[in-house]
Chains A and B, each alone.
Chain A
Amino acid sequence: MSESPVDRLSTYPSRATAPYGYDHGSSANLADILERVLDKGIVIAGDIRINLLDIELLTVKLRLIVASVDKAREMGIDWWEHDPSLSSRADDRALAEENRRLHAEIEALRGERELTREEPGATVERRHRSSRRPSAPRRGNGIADD
């Protein structure tokens, strides 16, 4: 990514302008769209399986995102610790707390992802567990399960 997405994204209006129409799609806030298309909706196993943990890790990153995902990763996702405008805030304690929580969450996701890679046999199980829709019928939809 050469262009900073931040500059680009800032041109989108932050709120929908059409209260009753259904025409705010092109201008709706990207964050509002992403949290819906990545985190919500029906989770059903397609034939081409992306590991849902990858998506969940991605949404964690997007929550924190700065100039680019690469940069966030390069900085170990703890970039906000070094941001003077954040660290000088009065609510350091709350931030530190959240920081710890996010770190734990990311570590847990990483750990699970590693495990998933090492144990291909366990993959299907883990995907289902992470899908937030653990009902059994999902199991029958993938070629890998047939």
Chain B
Amino acid sequence: MTERVAYAYAVLRAVEGLGTVLEGVEGVAGAPVRLLPEGSGGALAAAVSSVPARDFEEDALRRHLEDLDWLEAVARAHHGVIEALGARTTVLPMRLATVYLDDGRVEAMLRAEADEFSRTLRRLAGHLEWGVKIYVEPQPDTQATGASSAVAGTADGLSPGRAYLRARRSQRHSRDESYRAARQAAERVEAIGRALAAGHARHRVQQGELAAGAGENVVNDAYLLSRDAAAEFRTRVLDAGQDLPGVRIDVTGPWAPYSFAAPPDARSPAPDHAPDRAPDRAPDRAP
């Protein structure tokens, strides 16, 4: 028989109906998801799956984490469980691949940390996380714009070379404008957050091929919102970019409160991990 270990997804406040929720959910490695109660009258529970030890031992894990297909499957399953539970109760998501030898070890962890888990769950009760990403839209195709402006420039009596340089300069100008606009959008969003949100966390800006949105991501933040304030926050944030050319604002969510589950002092990343790039790149201060 295959040796199994306990994969822990989240700690949560146990409420009625979670068993039914979990019946329809497939966990990591296709395994069913169970709830381990804190016991002795406590209201906490941990969501776990039994997964094959051979795939989740230290060496295997290190290898697997380098495999994007494996990582994606596990990350989506992990997230799927947390999301299903988060729709019904307050959850504290655990970092991917938190693995225990057996259920008993998970229960021991649950009892040992019960006070702190309860405190955090109280703080987060009724709140969900929303993601806000600000993008500077890609500039119009260089070749096309350059060519058409060059034609216009020659019509003005400029040599093709000077016309080309002028076209480049005007592109550069519109690029600077876009960064200034992005900075303005970022300030507006932060102001909305200060008015409505219970928490604010910065994520690294998304780069590379995994950053699926078009344009350059300059702000990637998360806000903690009560259920009551969420709709207004979302509407106002999406509105904040309407009059700003070259800027796009995406709102994602609701998410389980991933970015707010750790205690506040441990949560904030090192400053250089969260560059606020819009202000850095805009050469002038916005008026």
A residues with CB within 8 A of B = 1, 5-6, 9-10, 12-16, 19-20, 22, 24-26, 28-44, 46-51, 54-55, 58-59, 62-70, 90-91, 94, 98, 101, 132-135, 137, 140-141, 143
The 3 A-B pairs of least Cβ separation, nearest first, read A22-B87, A36-B258, A48-B99
Report the Cα distance A133→B92, complex, angstroms: 14
Whether B66 lies near A37 (C-beta < 8 A) is: no
Q: How far is the CA of A51 from the CA of B58 in the complex (A)?
A: 9
Contacting residues of chain B (1-23) with chain A, CB-CB under 8 angstroms: 5, 8, 11
Extra inter-chain contacts (5) besides given A29-B252, A31-B212, A54-B62, CB under 8 Å = A14-B213, A41-B258, A42-B95, A66-B209, A133-B262
CB of A47 within 8 A of CB of B94, answer no
**Residues of chain B contacted by A49 (CB below 8 angstroms):** 58
Q: Is B244 part of the binding interface, using a Cβ–Cβ cutoff of 8 Å? A: no
Residues of chain B in range 62-82 having any CB-CB distance to chain A below 8 Å: 62, 65-69, 71-72, 75-76, 78-80
B72 contacts which chain A residues (CB < 8 A)? 5, 30
Distance between B76 CB and nearest chain A CB, rounded to angstroms? 7
Interface check B147, CB cutoff 8 A: no
What is the interface of chain B, defined by CB distance below 8 A to chain A? Answer: 5, 8, 11, 56-58, 61-62, 65-69, 71-72, 75-76, 78-80, 83-84, 86-87, 92-101, 105, 108-109, 112-113, 116, 131, 172, 175, 201, 203-204, 206-214, 220, 230-231, 234, 250-255, 258-259, 261-263, 266-267, 269, 272, 275, 277, 280-281
- Nearest A-chain residue to B115, judged by Cβ: A137
A133 to chain B, nearest CB (A): 4
State A98–B100 Cα separation when bound (angstroms).
Answer: 38
Which residues from chain B contact A16 at a C-beta distance below 8 Å? 251-253
Chain B nearest CB, measured from A16 CB (Å): 5
Alpha-carbon separation in the docked complex, A49 to B75 (Å): 18
Chain B residues lying within 8 Å of A38, measured Cβ to Cβ, are 75, 95-96
* Docked CA distance A34–B96 (Å): 9
- Find A5's partner among B68, B175, B269 (CB 8 Å cutoff): B68
Contact, CB under 8 Å: A26 / B212: no
Whether the pair B95, A141 counts as a contact (CB closer than 8 A) is: no
Q: Say how far A22's CB is from chain B's closest CB, in angstroms.
A: 4
A36 and B255 within 8 A (CB): yes
The 21 sampled A-B contact pairs (Cβ below 8 Å) are A6-B209, A10-B212, A13-B212, A16-B251, A22-B83, A22-B254, A30-B75, A35-B203, A41-B94, A42-B95, A44-B95, A44-B109, A47-B99, A50-B58, A50-B97, A63-B204, A63-B208, A65-B210, A66-B208, A69-B67, A137-B113
Q: Indicate if the CB atoms of B68 and A69 lie closer than 8 Å.
A: yes
Chain A residues with CB below 8 A from B56, complex form: 48
Cα A133 to Cα B281 with chains together (Å): 32
B107 to chain A, nearest CB (A): 12
A-side contacts of B97, CB under 8 Å: 46, 50
Q: Whose C-beta in chain A lies nearest to the C-beta of B66?
A: A69
Whether A44 contacts B68 by the Cβ 8 Å rule is no
Give the chain B neighbours of A55 by CB distance below 8 A.
Answer: 65, 95-96
Q: In the complex the two chains form, what is the Cα distance from A26 to B11 in whole Å? A: 22
